[in-house]
Amino acid sequence: MGEIYGCDLARLEDPAWVEAALRQAVRALGASEESIKSVVYKFAPQGLSAAALSPVAAVMVHTWPEDDASATLDLYFYRPADAQAVMERLAEAFGARRENAFCHRREG
C-alpha cells in the first residue's frame, strides 16, 4: 500500500492515462495484455478510482487532486514480486514528488 503526493495533476485527472499506467504496471509483472481487466470510475468534479486486475497482480489507485494532487495505491501480487520497485515506478509515472509506502504480508 502506498500514498503518493504532488503528482502531475493532468495525469491524475486523465482516466485513459491512469488506466494505461495501471495496465502497464501489471504487464511489467508478467501478465499478458489479454488477461488484464481494467475499470476506471471518474468522480465529479474531480478524482477517480481505477483498477487493473490479472492472474498475476491487481493494482488499484484512488486519487485526490484537491489534496496536494495525491493518490493511494493498493498493490496485490499473486506471485513473488518486488513491491518497492513497482511502487517506485508508479510514483514516477504519476510524477509524484514524494511517496510513503508500507507492506503487509498475509500468511496463508
- Predicted confidence at residue 38, as pLDDT, reads 98
The span from the first CA to the last CA of the chain, in angstroms, equals 19
Q: Over 70: is that where the pLDDT of 107 sits?
A: no
Cα–Cα distance, 74 to 86 (Å, whole number): 11
Domain ranges for the chain, please list them.
Answer: 2-101
pLDDT band at 108 (very low <50, low <70, confident <90, very high): low
- Respond yes or no on whether the N-terminal peptide bond of residue 15 is cis (omega within 30° of 0): no
Using the predicted structure, report yes or no on whether residue 100 has a pLDDT greater than 80: yes
Contact 68, 6 (CB under 8 A): yes
Q: What is the pLDDT of residues 2-53, one digit of tens each?
A: 999 999 999 999 999 999 999 999 999 999 999 999 999 999 999 999 999 9
Q: Using an 8 Å Cβ cutoff, are 1 and 36 in contact?
A: no
Q: Residue written as cell 509515472? A: 93
Which of these, 61, 53, 12, lies nearest to 29 by C-alpha position?
Answer: 53
The pLDDT-based confidence of 78 (bands split at 50, 70, 90) is very high
DSSP secondary-structure letter at 68? T
Average pLDDT over residues 61-81: 94
C-beta separation of 87 from 100 below 8 A: no
Instruction: Using the predicted structure, report yes or no on whether residue 75 has a pLDDT greater than 80.
Output: yes
Q: How confident is the model at residue 102 (pLDDT cuts 50, 70, 90)?
A: confident
Closest CA to 54 of 73, 28, 17: 28
Kindly state the cell numbers that stand for 48: 477517480
CATH topology of domain 2-101: S-adenosylmethionine decarboxylase (3.60.90)
